[in-house]
Amino acid sequence: MAKQESLGIKALESIHWYVHDLERSRQFYTKGLDFAEVAVSGPELEAHGKQKSALFQAGEIALVVSQPVGEGGRAWRYLRKHPDGVGTLNFEVEDVEKTFKLLEQRGATFITDIQRFTDDAGGKLAFFSITTPFGDTTFRFLQRDHYKSIYPGFQVHAQPKGGQNKYGFDKMDHVTSNFQTMKPMLLWMEHVMGFEKFWHIEFHTEDVASQQKRDHGSGLKSEVMWDPKSGVKFANNEPKFPFFKASQINIFNEDHRGDGVQHLAITVKDILTSVKDMRQNAGIQFMPTPGSYYDALPDRIQRMGIKKIDEDINVLRELEVLIDGDKERSYMLQIFMKDAASLYKQPDAGPFFYEIIQRKGDQGFGGGNFRALFESIERAQKAEGRI
């Protein structure tokens, strides 16, 4: 297919969460991750939308979190079906009317027409929303023209409350979602959104199951789609046969009760310091990595063609940080938090988790680490009797 005209996306501006307990999220983001709370919903918005919200920021990362107030609102409808999760992705665009027309021509399904707002200083904001194949997650496209109020109905704090971003969070790197079958979504991303293929991997871990009886394993196919103009990237996974039901992609979808956003990757400037401090200061828990991963790491680094890394492998082992890359792209460091249900010790918090990543030249997705992550999750699920 020939390349399509760009939608004019400038950035993935923010992620909108729907949660059962806003105060629980407030404590996690401000006390745990040291985000600042910069705004909250006003009384009119809460009455009209039937939900109360807060906006948290660190670096260029913006997260809106909403809890239902009574019945009938968007957050309430989402949470009737799912645990806590991502309900909307907000994209800033250059020209909202052009984006609307392009999506209309490509057969997008609209939730709203373009809505327009003006703040007290004369700044303008316009946006509209569409449905997507990402389960119950919708996309919103916004154009700002000196609009200072963040979002309509929000009250901006005179001074941000909570954290100071002491862990050095920088920006959103990519969004990863899980599907029972991802082909419809890939076609939609290509033909409607105009995104292009960026990266692909597929594998299965049945070879790490019992050698006497290979009765389980977790596999996936993963396709990364991106918007070349903005650099916005979506990683997308589906289960891989055999042991489809035992696949952790399928287990996520069962826990989430449908397709949806699995994790958000956010960048930091110094991952070793950030991870160490998050563990010590806030008790943040990460997915464990087996010692055998680090035993084999010197040979892996050599095979990848990486001549030199700045980090001590013993420190990587201690912090359980993963490394991947190639000789052309240098390397990257990454680690995955435990999912929200595990961090909060409450099932309604859901299976979503965060990835922390530091890129040192490599723009890939840690293909060599996928198996290590899957094997780690698989061991945990095996210990819990889930596979």
Q: Please check whether residue 312 is in contact with residue 347, taking contact to mean a CB–CB distance below 8 angstroms.
A: no
Q: Is 288 helix (H, G, I), strand (E, B) or coil?
A: coil
- Bridge partners (DSSP) listed for residue 360: 331
Burial grade of 2 (CB within 10 A; 0-12, 13-18, 19 or more): exposed
* DSSP string for 250-280: HHHHHHHTSSEEEEEEEEES-HHHHHHHIII
> What residues are paired with 216 via a beta bridge?
none
Tell me whether the omega of the peptide bond preceding residue 242 falls within 30 degrees of 0, making it cis.
yes
Q: Show the beta-strand stretches assigned E in 292-339.
A: 322-326, 330-336
Cα 13–Cα 351–Cα 17 angle in degrees, nearest 5: 30
256 marked among binding-site residues: no
The Cα–Cα gap between 358 and 165 comes to 16
DSSP assignment, residue 361? Answer: B
- To the question of whether residue 200 is assigned a binding role by annotation, the answer is no
Instruction: Quote the radius of gyration of the chain (alpha carbons, Å).
Output: 21
Nearest to 250, CA basis, from 185, 179, 195? 179
Is-contact 74 41, C-beta < 8 A?
Answer: no
Which residue from 57, 53, 136, 137 is spatially nearest to 90, judged by alpha carbons? 137
State yes or no: 174 annotated in a binding site.
yes
Distance CA 221, CA 239 (A): 6
**Tokens 């960026």 label which residue?**
198
Token pair belonging to 289: 């990595």
Q: Residues marked as binding?
A: 174, 263, 355
Q: Residues marked as binding for Fe cation?
A: 174, 263, 355
